Amino acid sequence: MTTVQEEFLRTFHAVHPAVTVQAMAHGRAEGGRSSYEILRDRVAACGRVLDLGCGDGLLLELLASGEAGARRALAGIDLSAEELTLARGRPGVGRADLRVARAQQLPFQDGWFDGCVSHMALMLMSEAEQVAAELARVLEPGGTLAVVVGGGAAGGEAYELFVRLLKLLFQAAPAERRMPPLGDRRVRNREGFDTVFRPAGFGPVEWETVRIDLSGPPERVWRTVGTTYDLGMLDPAVTAELRARFETESAAMALPDGRIPCAMRVHVATAVRRGS
């Protein structure tokens, strides 16, 4: 059964396909990797990989590239048919098994995968214990789960400014213009993640917090921060007001080359499916 939250996400991504990739793909951690590349590397030894909430397929494309990728069996699920249409057009992803499906009821047989990745999607899913149980079911013993979840603003930069401005507007918005609560906040911290996933059959989580630099020209920084789910419900006039204020205040932060400093934290969580 589709929930109110899932219907919101499906509608949002029908209007804004590829929004997460547009916001985050250019971001880089220390060392030069994107958050997508960090996940790819966490399952480098895996041959049968599921992307949970695969969106427009960028991570699947990365997994499919190179000699090792050519040997992989890949699958992806998403609530959005529009996102999957884009994914099928990516190099190497056309051969992947892509399905519109819910994470709480995965359409795959037991133990089919030895790896699972999820980029900024697990944190949006309700019924977290059911999601964990399904992932434990479709992963073979010893299989690797690697996910990226949001960790908030890095501090003192444009992303933090945006969050502050948005919070003020969102609090003033009428109830019918507010985004429904999404996901289970427990999976955004180490202790909560273990609380959800260890009873399902996973070992203790390996947890790493990474700073992602999203700095860039003003227009790109706005596209990065201004595609948040929160804006999906606000009146367009309110969104325009927010953008004008954000651009004015962030301009004061500009670097000598004109770029706006912007960064966010993400948490990279890795856990291994225990044996039966």
Quickly state the pLDDT bin for 81 (edges 50, 70, 90).
very high
pLDDT in tens, 86-104: 999 999 999 999 999 999 9
244 pLDDT tier (thresholds 50, 70, 90): very high
Confidence grade of residue 276 (pLDDT, cut at 50, 70, 90): low
**27 CB burial (10 A radius; 0-12, 13-18, 19+):** buried
Burial of 159 (0-12, 13-18, 19+ CB in 10 A): buried
Please tell me the distance from the alpha carbon of residue 205 to that of residue 189, in angstroms, as a whole number. Answer: 10
Beta strands 263-272 and 139-153 are antiparallel
pLDDT of residue 93: 95
pLDDT at 229: 85
SS3 149: strand
Distance CA 243, CA 79 (A): 29
Judged by DSSP in three states, 271 sits in strand
In tens, the pLDDT along 158-197 reads 999 999 998 887 776 677 767 788 999 999 999 999 999 9
Nearest Cα residue to 45 out of 113, 130, 94, 102 = 113
Q: What is the pLDDT of residues 227-237, one digit of tens each?
A: 888 777 777 88
pLDDT, one tens digit per residue, over 189-229 is 999 999 999 999 999 999 999 999 999 999 999 999 988 88
pLDDT band at 1 (very low <50, low <70, confident <90, very high): low
* Residue 20 contacts residue 221 (beta carbons within 8 Å): no
Backbone angles phi, psi at 105, to 5 degrees: -150, 75
Rounded percentage of the chain residues whose pLDDT exceeds 90:
77
Query: Per-residue pLDDT for 57 more than 70?
Result: yes
Phi then psi for residue 266, to 5 deg, are -130, 155
Res 107 pLDDT > 90: yes
Residue 203 tokens, joined: 């070992």
- pLDDT band at 267; cut points 50, 70, 90: very high
pLDDT band at 258; cut points 50, 70, 90: very high
> Could you tell me the pLDDT band of residue 247, with boundaries at 50, 70 and 90?
very high
Confidence at 58, pLDDT banded by 50, 70, 90:
very high
pLDDT score of 233? 73
Q: Is the CB of residue 152 less than 8 Å from the CB of residue 264?
A: yes
Average pLDDT, the chain: 93
Q: How confident is the model at residue 25 (pLDDT cuts 50, 70, 90)?
A: very high
Average pLDDT over residues 55-72: 90
pLDDT of residue 269: 98
63: closest CA among 89, 25, 90, 86?
90
Rounded Cα distance, 233 and 16, in Å: 13
pLDDT of residue 254: 96
